Amino acid sequence: MTARPRLTVVGTGYLGATHAVCMAELGYDVLGLDVDTAKVEALAAGTVPFFEPGLPELLRKNLDSGRLRFTTSYEQVGAFGDVHFVCVGTPQKKGENAADLRYVDAAVASLAPHLRPGALVVGKSTVPAGTAARLASELSLTAPEAELAWNPEFLREGFAVEDTLRPDRLVFGVRSVRAEALLRAAYEPVIDLPTPVVVTDFATAELVKVAANAFLATKISFINAMAEVCEVTGGDVTKLSEALSYDDRIGGRFLHAGLGFGGGCLPKDIRAFMARAGELGVDQALTFLREVDAINLRRRARMVDLAREELNGSFHGSRVAVLGAAFKPNSDDTRDSPALDVAAALHRQGATVTVYDPAAMANARRLRPELAYADSTLHAARDADLVLHLTEWQEFRQLDPAVLGSVVAHRRVLDGRNALDPQRWRDAGWTYRALGRP
């Protein structure tokens, strides 16, 4: 085996497309596969089907270099690759907390008959503990000379290129020295940065991702629980968070109170973690995650309550501008978006709601077609009785409250992300309120 194995990436959604592009950027020959012909054609034409800063430029650069190609053929992928990364989604099952593994199962089953002897299949998808061991057993029946490894991803939407090219760690779940060697060859430029490598068993590799997400979700919900206490005591959660952040044992990251977390990872991953713990008979170990989830959802309800209070107890006949639709800035992902959930709740209760987001408008329209949408902040806020800041895009943080005030019907703003400067807005004549602040 040469130092540069040929790589394939099965699944070209958010994780897969990013991984394929970035591995090509690191100098590898990469072939990406998806069963969605339209997605493959778009990527092959240099179009990224989602918003991720820096990725479109790298896609076009590596298509032009010839290092990156896309296909719908498992046969072609099997013949091409030495190391095959499986990057398909594991969404939450409808009506359940458990992860839906049908796409992972289908990807490995479809790939197996076409693998060359000695090929390494590497799972990157977030899966319940025990999945890799099961897939390894199934793979051995169809492709006995191939091997499985697990290499969880830790991408942050909006920073995915940086997280792939310069990760804070690599985790290799392997069963042989050869599998570890192949993974090290597949990540050689990254390891040489240097990047810490944790070599472990399948179960630990699977648990690292869900444990990390559970910890981050817990930290976010903790400070939001403190925001609930601040609201009844008159405390200021932003000052509380600042004071806590100076404690080296706690730190300030993910200790920012607001509307809570959403997206396609944290909510469904902590629910799947709880479901798997129940299947394994250790559900009591993760019962605290139920409250983490509940605190997170209560913040959305509290924002609706605050909006109702500002509108004198009723939404009927009121116009509300919602700034933000993506679950976080620098993303067009609206899955489990707190901003859209709040907007939809206001609409159901009688408000006329107009939404604007710098990147997520198309996804928001598909998910919530009942809402009105605008092509700019000023358009969304025109004649509004109340403005809600729900996704902390830099564009919104830098708004001139005087300019915005010139188009609204009433200068009332609710800051769902504690990201605006209260004094600046109050000086411009706005009534400013936020979660967890006086």
d(CA 171, CA 188): 14
User: Bridge partners of 123?
Assistant: 86, 150
Number of Cβ within 10 Å of residue 427's Cβ equals: 12
Is-contact 416 343, C-beta < 8 A?
no
Nearest CA to 389 out of 331, 335, 434, 438 is that of 434
Element (H, E) at 77: helix 74-80
Which among 145, 149, 153 is positioned nearest to 136, based on CA atoms?
A: 149
Q: 3-class SS at 106? A: helix
Backbone phi and psi for residue 318, each to the nearest 5 degrees, phi listed first? -100, 150
- Is 22 in the active site? no
Q: In sequence order, what DSSP letters do the residues of 339-368 get, joined into one string? A: HHHHHHHHHHTT-EEEEE-SS-HHHHHHH-
Burial of residue 272 (number of CB atoms within 10 Å: 0-12, 13-18, 19+): buried
User: b or e along 353-391 (b: 16 or more beta carbons within 10 Å of the residue's beta carbon)?
Assistant: bbbbbbbbbebbeeebeebebbeebbebbbebbbbbbbb
Which stretches of 187-318 are assigned E, i.e. beta strand?
197-200
Catalytic residue among 22, 87, 230, 265: 265
Closest CA to 329 of 389, 242, 245: 389
| CA 228 – CA 33 distance, rounded (Å) | 47
β-bridge mates for residue 432, sequence order:
413
Q: Just list the catalytic residues.
A: 265
